Amino acid sequence: MSEHLTGFGLGMRRPHYRSYIEGTAPVDFIEVISENFMIPGGKPLDTLMKARRNYPLALHGVSLSIGSADGLRDDYLKELRRLVDMMEPAVVSDHLCWTRIDGFNSHDLLPLPYTEEALDVVCRNIDRAQEALGRRMLLENPSSYIAFPGAMTEWQFLAEMTKRTGCGLLLDVNNIHVSAVNHGFAAADYLAGIPMHAVGQIHLAGHVQGEHLLIDTHDQPVPEEVWALYRAAVALAGPVPTMIERDDNIPELEELCAELDIARGIAADERIAA
């Protein structure tokens, strides 16, 4: 039986595997990239099974391609379902994006036009994925660097998507900030338009300034502007399980846990204020 996800967690990354296997990492849950463990056996899967005994687990995918007009891959869904049945995660999530066309996987989280046609495609694919997995999924808002003409804003698209499919949201606060700066919308408007009752998890991460745009790199500490937006999100959403993603330039576990304590403090402050 999978646990309910609560508290504050980290993405389980290779330099810290031993701490998770031994159960000494001071976190409430762990998250891993689903595709890294969608294999029939071997050391990675054994490592995850050992860590899973100590912590509730979130599976976070990057290749479901929920926005693909040609539908979802049967083999992918079967492999993901096998991992879900084996690990009994508290959460299964992926991204609002597309990654694949004609069998080719770009390995990039590519943006969608926010149109009624795209919404129909996304909702149809979410329905199929949730049926195949036998559970509700969370979909993450993307960071983006180009924007297509559309009939609605990203937050309106997400709100209608959750209404039609019953899926939840993985609210990536860093992605909101990155996209807001890149495209010139107000992050406060985004938060106001999100159905906060649908938010099942929050991601925090860092980014860098590119030549013209902010780039979502997951290789820096969470910056002050993202912490401020997290405070605003928590004030609206209440106590939502929160984790920090760090995929490169990975520091010692103690440094990441100290950063996670900032999230704990913000959430505690907002509970007192409420």
Residue 107, pLDDT score: 67
The total of other beta-carbon atoms located within 10 Å of residue 8's CB is 21
Domains of the chain: 8-273 (3.20.20.150)
Give the residues of the chain that fall short of pLDDT 50.
1
Q: What phi and psi values does residue 66 have, to the nearest 5 degrees?
A: -65, -15
Cα-to-chain-centroid distance, residue 139 = 7
Q: Among residues 92, 1, 11, which one has the least CA distance to residue 51? A: 11
Residue 108, pLDDT score: 74
The total of other beta-carbon atoms located within 10 Å of residue 41's CB is 7
Give one DSSP letter per residue of the chain, joined into a string.
-PPPP-SEEEE--GGGHHHHHHT-S--SEEEEEGGGG-SSSSHHHHHHHHHHTTS-EEEE-S---TT-TT---HHHHHHHHHHHHHH--SEEEEESSEEEETTEEEEEEE----SHHHHHHHHHHHHHHHHHHTS--EEEPPP-S-----SS-HHHHHHHHHHHH--EEEEEHHHHHHHHHHHT--HHHHHHHS-GGGEEEEEE---EE-SSSEE--S-SPPPHHHHHHHHHHHHHH-S--EEE---SS---HHHHHHHHHHHHHHHHHHHHH-
Decide: 226 and 173 in contact? Cβ < 8 Å. yes
Give the dihedral sign, CA 230/236/239/241.
Answer: negative
Residue 181: partners with Cβ closer than 8 Å, 6 or more residues away: 213, 214
3-state SS, one letter per residue, for 51-103: HHCCCCEEEECCCCCCCCCCCCCHHHHHHHHHHHHHHCCCEEEEECCEEEECC
Q: Among residues 108, 10, 3, which one has the least CA distance to residue 53? A: 3
The first and second tokens of residue 128, run together, are 């199929």
Residue 1, pLDDT score: 42
Residue 209, pLDDT score: 93
Residue 106, pLDDT score: 57
Per-residue pLDDT tens digits for 200-249: 999 999 999 998 999 999 999 999 999 999 999 999 999 999 999 999 99
Residue 173 CA: distances (Å) to CA of 13, 31, 119, 248: 21, 17, 22, 19
